[in-house]
């Protein structure tokens, strides 16, 4: 049992991130017959990551559709279905393959509501994993979420825990706008307590997952998990770290970010992506605009090496940000402010 937002106890189950996504899809398919699934190998093979395991058998080929290897084609078909009243959930095998469908996503899904003057909406969800660390090499290990978070008309979410994955997928399927739903490959086997019942998240709200007073760390998806672990480790050394999990990249909860930084006076942004023109740059600008007078030191950023991700495991590990890199920058921030005083 865990308390909900109102402090009341809620029954929970310990499940993996993978299972939480599966359960959300099944729950929505049971609740709403207009929810359909499309994607490569999601039916007979039950998905490359087994998120759709058992769903073809339960719901049949009309609602769980194996598609050709044509991301542009089946994404476009899903947009048309959404315009006519269906609620399609598309699985693109990795975010890298979404580039084949980027015209459909950016120039159609994101713009149809505005271009048609609100006469038709596109209640479409595109689920897609990304991230490195799996030795899938440069073209299969990218974090391209900043490309999509840049686009008005799209919502982009990136849950870090099984509970958030389920709650945010339920919210995404019920939303009338197109949602890009990001899943980091390294999170699929992570476990967490997930509330039973119809717990639906609010898209566009960040969470303070660890309360602290000395410094704020902002992250999302895998980086939010790393940040929580670092906060726990540093608490053992007497350092109080506050962690803000963005959960949603567009809309972005700027107020929660700035409120935390106004409290702690210092900020570090952690992201899996390259720093240049990245999500971290947007967060740094947000803090500069909304909490500048409260800063004791410049905002610092931690991200991936500015190279195509290597295949070799040793090089891949060096290129990706980790807990040690975050701890090093946090200590540099704390040392700088100690000397300043």
Q: What average pLDDT does range 290-302 have in this prediction?
A: 96
Q: What average pLDDT does range 153-179 have in this prediction?
A: 98
CB contact at 8 A, 122 and 177 = yes
pLDDT greater than 80 at residue 340: no
Q: 22, 28, 46, 140: which is the annotated catalytic residue?
A: 140
Q: Write down the architecture of domain 11-195 according to CATH.
A: 3-Layer(aba) Sandwich (3.40)
Active site residue 140: yes
Label residue 4 by pLDDT band (50, 70, 90).
Answer: low
* Domain parsing of the chain, residue ranges: 11-195, 207-340
Task: Report pLDDT for 189.
Answer: 96
pLDDT greater than 90 at residue 5: no
Summarised one tens digit per residue, pLDDT across range 195-224 is 988 899 999 999 999 999 999 999 999 999
Active site residue 71: yes
Task: Report pLDDT for 3.
Answer: 61
Q: Which of 277, 254, 250 is nearest to 267 (CA)?
A: 254
Summarised one tens digit per residue, pLDDT across range 184-203 is 999 999 999 999 888 999 99
Domains 11-195 and 207-340 share a fold: yes
pTM given for the model: 0.94
Q: 71, 91, 145, 242: which is the annotated catalytic residue?
A: 71
Q: Which residue has the higher pLDDT, 247 or 198?
A: 247
Task: Report pLDDT for 215.
Answer: 98
pLDDT greater than 90 at residue 338: no
Q: What average pLDDT does range 253-268 have in this prediction?
A: 98
Summarised one tens digit per residue, pLDDT across range 81-136 is 999 999 999 999 999 999 999 999 999 999 999 999 999 999 999 999 999 989 99
Task: Report pLDDT for 197.
Answer: 86
Task: Report pLDDT for 341.
Answer: 46
Answer yes or no: CATH 3.40.50.920 is held by domain 207-340: yes
Q: Which of 99, 96, 125, 112 is nearest to 38 (CA)?
A: 125
Task: Report pLDDT for 336.
Answer: 80
């Amino acid at each position: 049992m865990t308390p909900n937002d109102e402090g009341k106890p809620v029954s929970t189950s310990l499940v993996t991130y993978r299972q939480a996504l599966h359960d959300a899809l099944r729950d929505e398919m049971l609740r709403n017959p207009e929810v359909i699934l499309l994607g490569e190998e999601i039916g007979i093979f039950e998905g490359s990551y087994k998120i759709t395991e058992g769903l073809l058998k339960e719901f049949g080929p009309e609602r769980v559709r194996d598609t050709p290897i044509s991301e542009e084609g089946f994404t476009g078909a899903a947009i048309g279905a959404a315009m006519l009243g269906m609620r399609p959930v598309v699985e693109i095998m990795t975010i890298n393959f979404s580039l084949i469908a980027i015209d459909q996503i950016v120039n159609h899904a994101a713009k149809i509501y505005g271009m048609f003057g609100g006469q038709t909406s596109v209640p479409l969800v595109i689920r897609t994993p990304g991230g490195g660390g799996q030795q899938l090499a440069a073209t299969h290990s990218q974090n391209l979420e900043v490309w999509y978070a840049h686009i008005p008309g799209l919502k982009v979410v990136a849950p870090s825990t099984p509970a958030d994955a389920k709650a945010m997928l339920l919210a995404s399927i019920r939303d009338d706008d197109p949602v890009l739903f990001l899943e980091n490959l390294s999170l699929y086997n992570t476990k967490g307590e997930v509330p039973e019942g119809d717990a639906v998240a609010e898209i566009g709200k960040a969470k303070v997952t660890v309360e602290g007073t000395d410094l704020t760390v902002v992250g999302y998806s895998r980086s939010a998990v790393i940040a929580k672990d670092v906060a726990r480790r540093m608490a053992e050394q007497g350092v109080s770290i506050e962690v803000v999990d963005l959960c949603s990249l567009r809309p972005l909860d700027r107020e929660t970010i700035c409120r935390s930084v106004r409290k702690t006076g210092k900020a570090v942004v952690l992201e899996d992506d390259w720093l240049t023109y990245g999500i971290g740059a947007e967060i740094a600008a947000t803090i500069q605009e909304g909490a500048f007078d409260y800063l004791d030191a410049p905002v610092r950023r931690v991200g991936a090496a500015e190279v195509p991700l290597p295949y070799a495991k040793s090089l891949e590990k060096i290129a990706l940000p980790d807990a040690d890199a975050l701890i090093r920058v946090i200590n540099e921030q704390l040392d700088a402010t100690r000397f300043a005083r």
